[in-house]
Amino acid sequence: MYPCEFMFRHPRTMKNWLDEVTGSAGQGFQVGLICGSTFHFFKSLCISPTHISTACHAVRLNAPRVGGKFAAWCFLYNVSHDALIFVRQKNDPWDRIFAPAISSGLLSLYRRSLRATACFSMFGSLFGIVPEVGSIMAEKLEADRKHEKRVSSKTN
């Protein structure tokens, strides 16, 4: 099968894809902004508990940076996931495992250290493995429950 055939079998226009990717980056920015502001507010408040204005200043300085990093990671995750689907011509759990590893590795390249890139790629792959293992375990548990119901209904 040629790559063109894959695109025609899964019709999705470039505008829809771009909307999906930018929407994901926007959601990542929101999550990063909320988590970053909460983290930096309480971190600054622990350092100087009497100065709420210092904590608010720390939020203004650091939360947009954390939000931007989350947005960049979400953008790279979606792009690498869709690229893996396009190249491999199938959508399976390996795509969802390798996509966070690729995006984490690409984001860590600015450190210019092969060791840091390898560590962040391994962390990204763990970040992809955990949900996949969880979904596999949930499917197995559901299959076991259905099997037990079937066995108990046959014995009665």
Report the range of poorest mean pLDDT among 9-13, 37-41, 51-55: 9-13
The reported pLDDT for the residue numbered 10 is: 53
Query: What radius of gyration, in Å, describes the C-alpha atoms of the chain?
Result: 22
Q: Is the pTM of this model over 0.85?
A: no
Q: Can you give the residue ranges of every domain in the chain?
A: 1-91, 92-156
Mean pLDDT of 37-49: 85
Q: Could you identify the residue written with the tokens 């199938």?
A: 90
Mean pLDDT of 78-95: 84
Query: Could you tell me the pLDDT band of residue 96, with boundaries at 50, 70 and 90?
Result: confident
* DSSP string over 88-125: HSS--HHHHHHHHHHHHHHHGGGG--HHHHHHHHHHHH
Give yes or no for a contact between 78 and 21, defined as CB atoms under 8 angstroms apart.
yes
Of 72-76, 89-93, 115-119, which has the strongest mean pLDDT?
72-76
What integer best gives the mean pLDDT of the chain? 80
**How many other CB atoms sit within 10 Å of the CB of residue 66?**
19
Whether the pLDDT of residue 130 is over 60: the answer is yes
Whether the pLDDT of residue 57 is over 60: the answer is yes
The reported pLDDT for the residue numbered 29 is: 92
